[in-house]
Chain A
């Protein structure tokens, strides 16, 4: 009859503010980038095989999955960069609040990066 459960924890209602979103985007993008970087370096190291060998390996990435991944990673990289500069401003610069305009900028720059990538690679 009674619905005994564990006490509630901090939930989405407390996290629905811009600075928290900035933290979440920064952490998410950082995590995915950290996983991607070794793979990226490995692909570049295939240049050890010479031009033809390298091109053979690069051809594997012509599937749409990889193209989508590259597009997503460029967006994530931009978000992580702009969000990161915001943090450096907060931690090393003069205090000017949570710098929310930088958060908006990181989203806008991310979108721009995505669009630029699509425009240039097609």
Chain B
């Protein structure tokens, strides 16, 4: 076992010696119109795509605009399209995704481009609101705590989706968002699903109305790109499937919160 490990390690080092060249990095410059400009970036052993973008802005072209914050995979600010796939650049090692010696970095799809790699996230968050993706309860500080058993069916369904940090990767990966400008999108609908399963929330009828129809859950075609790309391994497809059934039945037969 150790022999195999040593062999692989040596081969890897040898490989690096052979290719300690530059990376050819194409970066989108402009807004909705623009071009890919190529930069040559020295290749390192442990290098993330965010390291590459940072190098370009600091050493090669200070006019490059991009976003990042925590750089440790917690905030989701650094999400971009790398070699065609939406991902967190701080959590993407170049060695995992490089195409020979080439990288292509573009802003997230489906969102307006402010400049270069920075997109306008407003429509993303407005759709979150549009899906009633926020909590409203009816207890005050004078009431007792709401008792929600963690193992209850609703709580487990909600817990499966609540780790979303609103990075926009799923939204950028969804072709239905591209085809239907009004479609609320996977993140907003996932959040709506976690709240539909929150037994303390008192806006369920409005929420069901908000996510019904072709701008809502019923336009989802189960392409599954959101679930494939989510960096937190969430499954918006699951939540949307749950909403589809619940809301359609509410429209036709009614639900515990009334008929749509």
Q: Are both chains from one complex? A: yes
B244 to A91, Cβ gap below 8 A?
yes
Cα-based distance from A96 to B106 in the complex (angstroms): 33
Render B184-228 as a binary contact track against A, CB cut-off 8 A, 1 for contact.
000000000000000000000000000000000000011111011
Contact flags A20-39 to B (C-beta < 8 A → 1, else 0): 10110001000000000000
List the A side residues contacting B113 at CB < 8 Å.
7
Interface size, chain B (Cβ < 8 Å) = 36
Whether the pair A23, B109 counts as a contact (CB closer than 8 A) is no
Contact residue range for chain A? 20 to 34
* Cα-based distance from A13 to B99 in the complex (angstroms): 12
> Chain B residues near A2 (CB, 8 Å)?
35
- Cα(A3)–Cα(B34), bound, Å: 8
Are B107 and A9 interface neighbours, CB within 8 A?
no
A98 at the interface (CB under 8 A from B): yes
A90 interface residue (CB < 8 Å to B): yes
How distant is the Cα of A8 from the Cα of B34 in the complex, in angstroms? 10
* Cα(A8)–Cα(B117), bound, Å: 12
B66 touches A (CB below 8 Å): no
| Residues of B close to A23: CB separation below 8 A | 221-224
Set A14, A22, A90: member contacting B85, Cβ < 8 A: A14
Q: Are A8 and B173 in contact (CB under 8 A)?
A: no
B32 is an interface residue with CB less than 8 A from chain A: yes
Shortest distance from the beta carbon of B234 to any chain A beta carbon, whole Å? 12
Structural contact, B109 and A95, CB atoms closer than 8 A: no
The residue in chain B whose Cβ has the minimal distance to the Cβ of A95 is: B238
Interface string of A76-114 (1 = CB under 8 A from B): 000000000001001110010110000000000000000
Contact B28 A90 (CB under 8 A): no
| Closest residue of A by beta carbon distance from B109 | A10
Of the A-B pairs whose beta carbons lie under 8 Å apart in the complex, a sample of 18, sorted by A's number, is A4-B35, A7-B33, A8-B28, A10-B109, A10-B110, A10-B173, A13-B85, A14-B86, A14-B173, A15-B225, A17-B224, A19-B223, A19-B225, A20-B225, A23-B224, A27-B221, A91-B245, A95-B241
For the complex of A and B, the 3 pairs showing the least CB-CB separation, nearest first, are: A13-B84, A19-B224, A23-B223
Residues of A within 8 A of B (CB): 2-15, 17, 19-20, 22-23, 27, 87, 90-92, 95, 97-98
| B contact set with A: CB distance below 8 Å | 28, 30-36, 81, 83-86, 106-107, 109-110, 113, 173, 175, 178, 221-225, 227-229, 235, 237-238, 241-242, 244-245
